[in-house]
Every structure is written in structure tokens, then in C-alpha cells.
Amino acid sequence: MRLLISASTFALALGLCARPVRADALVQVTSFGANPGALDMYTHVPPGLPAGSPLVVVMHGCTQTAAAMQVAGWDALADQSKFAVVYPQERTANQPLGCFRWYEPAQTARGGGEAASIIAMVDTMISANHLDPTRVYVTGLSSGAAFTAVMLATYPERFAAGSIMSGIPYACATDLTSATRCEQMNASTQRAASAWGALVAAASGNFTGVWPRVQIWQGSEDTTVSPANAGELVKQWTDVHGAPQTPSATAAISGSTRTQYSAGGQVVVEAYAVSGMGHDVATGMDALGACPAGTGAYFADEHICSTLRAAQFFGLLAGSGSGSDGSSGSGSSGSDGSGSDGSGSNGEQSGGDMNSGCATGDGPGAALVGLVGLVALRRRRSLTS
């Protein structure tokens, strides 16, 4: 029988359930050079942005758009901390659910496909706004998180750091069938750290420079992207950096656990495990300051603000400084400028109701929004072929 999708399920998938954050409309750039991945480009550039400012690339998840990711608050933070933001957007003509195609080798290899389109956007932003090419960062949710790993692996010389939110290791999948296995990340799909790291090394053309630092976020109750993916991402990127698999520091922060992994006296990988969170971006009151995120589908109030903490990891917040080797980041092992646990205390932060962020990521519409929506696409193709 054919796969049918009800109007009510679509309403949930599209997030018609919460008050979205009010933000200025993004500016679309229609001409940005080579675009082999056939993506769209949207931007937010604060008025009077100084030359030499940083750039953050923000990538959406399945069924989302660039505008949907404005809820994360990167635009407001850019206005405050003086950096530019570029939002790549997938076209439904490429992928019916609007997922970035992290599972297609033609889209994820250096020099072609969607990866090359995103680099063209980065180049255009740097040239048009006189930005600092050494301070470019990338973050994303779900399929956008999986593609964040793609960009860090294929163009390591172009990014100083990245934040992967509910993502999947680079080159885990090569088609829709293997994408499903990667989402589930059972023991048979997991690999040794050296095997994961070798995939990144090959993608980069055996890069020998300084690798981008990597931050990882994962909800413990995510039924779209298995929490096991966070562990595999840690294995992949600690191997790339030559860092030990044993954490250099662990801290409890408002119901989340942060583990940090260091090499050369600097935190090169850090992972946040958010207890009780589904397939969402973590928002809420944070000791680092007021969270710029709003409410919307796939944004959950977990009393910790992933946008602020990603920005701190990137070195974009006032006082966040740089790592001990001079690269942007959150400082040396165990220190992020706000206390030994990164929050100023180990207790719960004050904030609103835990469900006030419209945390629908694992509700009735979850299969459409997460990467698991690819399963439905594969089934539909098999039924109509």
C-alpha cells in the first residue's frame, strides 16, 4: 500500500504549535558563484559590521527552512557580538523533505555537490562583507548537523570549529538504506575510532593543518537520531585530533553532562548529553547569559542554551577568549571562562517549564522532521518504481 501522510501529521512536522521568535527577515542572495548542490542562500549581516568579523554557517533540519533556524537566536547574538550569519537552504526539488543530502557521496565530497555550494556561500560572505576567513564556524540540527560534520571533514582548512546538534559521523552512510542504519546506530554500524577517523582524513585530502574543534549535542530521549551517534562522533573527532578517548574533564550542568577531550593542552572535542531531551535544540536560562533562542518546533527548554555555548566554544562571546594554542575556543581543558563546570554551579538553572520550548521533536510528527524521514522517502520510491 502507498505511504499516506495526513494533514494533521504535516502540521506537527512543520511545527505549527508554538510562538516563533520574532526576527528580521533574512536576505536571500541569488548569485554566489558555483552552486553544484542547487541550494539557496540566506543571510543576516548586522548593520555597520566591522571588517574582519567572524562568520557562522547555520544549517536547518528536515522539513525546516533557513527561517525556521532563526529561532535559535543566532541573528540576535550576531547583532550583539558582531558577526555575520549565512543560512544554506535545501530545495524540495532536491530532497522532498528538505533534508540536506548527507547520505549521498556526490553531495558530500570535497569539490562538488552541496558541500561545494556551501563553500561558495562562505566565499561570497567573506568577500562581500570583508570577514575574517580564519574565523568561520558551522552548526546545524539533524540533517544540518550531519552536514556540519561533512563540512568539517571535507574543508577543515575553512572552518575553525563546528557544533553538531543531533548529528551523525561523517561518511557513515552512502545511500538511503545505510542512512537508516546510521540513524539507529546499532552495534553493527558502530566502528573503531581509527576507522571513523580514517574516513575524515580521506575526505580532506589528507589534511595536515590544524583541525577544527568540534562540539556535539545529543538528547538522551532522541528517537530519531540514536544517542549512540554522539559517542561515535566523539570517537571520530578525537581520533582526528589525536586526543585520548578518555575525557579530560566532566561536568554536570543543569541536567546535562558535558565531557571534554583535550590534545596539546586545549579542548578539541566536547560533548553535551542532555538528559530527557528528544530531537531538539537545547534552549533555556543559562549561567552564560540570557538565551537568544525563541520557542518553536524542535527547540526545547532544557535550562541550558546551546546557542550561547556553541558561540562560547567558537570564541564569539565577550571574555570567551581563545584556546592555549591561540585558536578560537573555550580555553584550556576544564575551563570555559565561567567556572570549572562551565555554568558557575552544578545545580539546576532557574528557568521556565521544561516543555515550554515546544519540544515536539519526538512527538507524532517526528519521523517526518528527523533524518528517519528518509525511510519514508525510500519506501515511497520503492512503491512507485
Catalytic residue annotation: 142
| Other CB atoms within 10 Å distance of the CB of residue 14 | 16
DSSP state of 50: P
Taking the alpha carbons at both ends of the chain, their separation in whole angstroms is 13
Question: CA separation (Å) from 295 to 101, 103, 145, 289?
Answer: 27, 29, 20, 17
Rg, Å, the chain Cα set? 19
SS3 264: coil
SS3 349: coil
Burial (0-12, 13-18, 19+ Cβ within 10 Å), 27: exposed
Written as nine digits, the cell of 312 is: 562560547
Cα 179 to Cα 168: distance, rounded to the nearest angstrom:
9
Written as nine digits, the cell of 285 is: 536560562
Question: CA separation (Å) from 229 to 2, 77, 279?
Answer: 31, 29, 13
Which ranges of the chain would DSSP assign to H, the alpha helix?
7-13, 74-81, 105-108, 113-129, 143-154, 176-184, 193-203, 228-241, 306-314, 366-369, 373-384
Tell me if 39 sits within 8 A of 118, measured CB to CB.
Answer: yes
| Other CB atoms within 10 Å distance of the CB of residue 289 | 16
Phi/psi at 374 (nearest 5 deg)?
-65, -25
